[in-house]
Chain A
């Protein structure tokens, strides 16, 4: 006899002490026959992306979670139909337990889990009888079922909470009619129909606008690079007091230089852009103003002065904002710098930057000019003392040799960490960068 049975596979703790993981992708579909240890899914934990080998040989009957969902450890994620082979059943079956919630004994010395009364006392759990939870159909909306702890959030299920959130309903105000005061979908709908809602919410609740409702907001879980970026920004913005200074420069000479260089032999085949020259100007100006190439080391109460420049370049990538850096950029010739910049942006956009590319940056440049923007107040890349935003190069009427002429101008925005960079240092640095772009020959004077 080859009877079959359904086996559920619950998400295990794939690391040490992890509570959840994200299903990245399924490698199998419902109805597929899989062998033992065949890879069935890719799962991302807080520590790693790992492959899940099938624990059974059998047929997939259900995938309980969609790719992209974050699943709690212990929740079923996939079901199998397997041959009922007693030979591979694990050990003796667990003894049947009473349906009452059971407290787990804990080891000596580890302290009691829930009890705070000293000696362990068996606790009688009583279930609420239906009579006690009689539906408060016409009672005021803030009535809670008897015995409910006021601090406890209203009892409901995730889909109902989602419905309430979509409808703008505060569940605290809804009376639940289910067992134990459980709020159901109908309770939420009835509440909305009750008429003490904002007009907009009522409109939303109307069935005919359901499709429109779906389109008006898109909720994207905060995770991955976005989550990391947000944390880094918050940490930077609220630990380093930022100061931002602006300088608008006539960069016509620099643009002329750029055009000449592009024609010259050594730069044949190289990608020269305004960013290349701004980067070089920053590197030259840093030699005279090394204080901006530094880091505030809070833990050690030290200011770290870098004698090298790892130049970060903010790059918009499909995965979000990243700031890979060019190692020892101060030692590169202009040709090598242009190559390094091209390489860095290509790698970042392809999403292939390695962790090393992101670590150890000492100062950064963000090119907001490519989006047609003039100025901004950039937030420091955490751990760095300065970041320069370069604006768009625009033709504008500008003072030139005591006349108004149409010139190419650019605005530079420099944010610096005021804990270790004073206004004087920051201003001198920005003025130097500006001077180099306004008159590249100044490089002779500064280099």
Chain B
């Protein structure tokens, strides 16, 4: 088998593999675009991509490039003191674009903190993506406007929320689905395992989308699992697929298969997207302290953007005009992101009371009243003096 089996760290994940199929032990990895940009036909997954036109392939490429640019700009903003922290997604663009672009508007997304590319594709406002990382809000957006929850920092906790939401879909009798994003490290968490138990028991319409980026901060995936991560899904009786997470088409096809199953009442699916975190865990991390530079080089050769570029080239679609258009778009997004970040007003002290309860709460009102009076002691001296006198 040519996949990077558990125990091999980050070695050869994406060589030619034409026999991808789902189910059974020893999953091989589904790959539809080779790192060299060759489109590999696959009888089982090709039908799910019939509608992907040249134009759509170009737009997938644009999203990949724009997301990488957002990531780069946000990393720079952190280094410039404009963001407190940023979790780079460099290298995981295809996993994020391929999965989110398979969704319908009425499907609901439960992300971890690294799915900022998913948020962009879902239409979250650029400044809203940064709001929480700038420390200007506890959550950047209203989840119901885009059907995407705000980033979950607690590792794996969102899998339970997603399972509960999917049970709700079931109760409503709707044919929408939920998708939950988490990483390789999260599969070792109790929450994720509990979520898979419940999702399997209730056969909820949910896609467990695991981006195996090979590193749980400084812990390599091989020390966390003696089997492929995809086998963890199988262990709960959840149909599971292993796809090349750096291949946007393979990810998209697999996600569509899973969503179709969910909509038809077939229950949850587990997808292991084999990808690689090319950057640090967050801007506060230094991966050179624990990671071999050769490993990084191996994965750079499997770049998710490079292979779509090569594929478009082969098809004669990668014209100068197209390239310029994509670059212009990425630059414009980066500019808007920066302006939105720097121009973001600081929250008012009393904003902390907003969004705690959806309905009035007397206990909280009392606290707010006390706090506003406390704040007033810093303002007009006369008011403060009167307050003193009243006591």
Contact = CB atoms under 8 A, between A and B. Distances in A.
B322 interface: no
A305 B153 CA distance: 40
B81 A10 contact: yes
A404 interface: no
Nearest to A12: B81
Interface in B140-163: none
A16 B289 contact: no
A120 B79 contact: no
B41 interface: no
A121 B377 CA distance: 8
A263 B288 CA distance: 42
Contacts of B370: 108
Contact of A354 (B73, B283, B292): B292
Contact of B339 (A12, A53, A88, A120): A88
Given A48-B280, A105-B374, A122-B384, A88 B342 contact: yes
B330 interface: no
A53 B80 contact: yes
Interface stretch (B179-187, B259-267, B344-352): B344-352
Interface in B323-346: 339, 342-346
A55 B80 contact: yes
Interface in B259-286: 280, 282-286
Contacts of A12: 78-82
Interface string A83-106: 000001011100000000011010
A53 B79 contact: yes
B202 interface: no
Interface in A1-18: 9-16
Nearest to B83: A12
A91 B374 contact: no
B290 interface: yes
A52 interface: yes
Contact of A48 (B82, B286, B292, B344): B286
Interface string B74-98: 0010111110110000000000000
Contact of A47 (B76, B284, B344, B371): B284
B292 A108 contact: no
Given A47-B285, A122-B381, A105 B349 contact: yes
A120 B375 CA distance: 10
B284 A15 contact: yes
Contacts of B374: 105, 108, 120
A105 to B, nearest CB: 5
Contacts of B292: 354
A105 B292 CA distance: 47
A55 B280 CA distance: 21
Contact of A51 (B79, B345, B352, B381): B79
A50 B343 contact: no
A234 interface: no
Contacts of A53: 76, 79-80
Given A90-B343, A108-B371, A122 B79 contact: no
A50 B81 contact: no
A14 B377 contact: no
B201 interface: no
Contacts of A37: 73, 76
Nearest to A41: B79
A49 interface: yes
A88 B80 CA distance: 15
A53 B338 CA distance: 13
Interface in A22-73: 37, 47-53, 55
Contacts of B290: 355
Contacts of A48: 280, 284-286, 288-289
A2 B349 CA distance: 37
Interface in B59-81: 73, 76, 78-81
Contact of B377 (A10, A13, A50, A120): A120
A441 B284 CA distance: 56
A107 interface: yes
A108 B284 contact: no
B8 interface: no
A107 B81 CA distance: 22
A95 B319 CA distance: 51
A90 B346 CA distance: 11
Contacts of A52: 79-80
Contacts of A355: 289-290
16 contacts: A12-B78, A12-B82, A14-B78, A15-B284, A16-B85, A16-B282, A37-B76, A47-B284, A48-B285, A50-B286, A55-B80, A88-B342, A91-B345, A105-B375, A122-B378, A122-B384
Given A107-B352, A355-B290, 14 more contacts: A10-B81, A12-B81, A15-B283, A15-B284, A16-B84, A16-B85, A48-B280, A49-B286, A55-B80, A102-B378, A108-B352, A121-B377, A122-B377, A122-B378
Interface of A: 9-16, 37, 47-53, 55, 88, 90-92, 102-103, 105, 107-108, 120-122, 354-355
Interface of B: 73, 76, 78-82, 84-85, 280, 282-286, 288-290, 292, 339, 342-346, 349, 352, 367, 370-371, 374-375, 377-378, 381, 384, 388
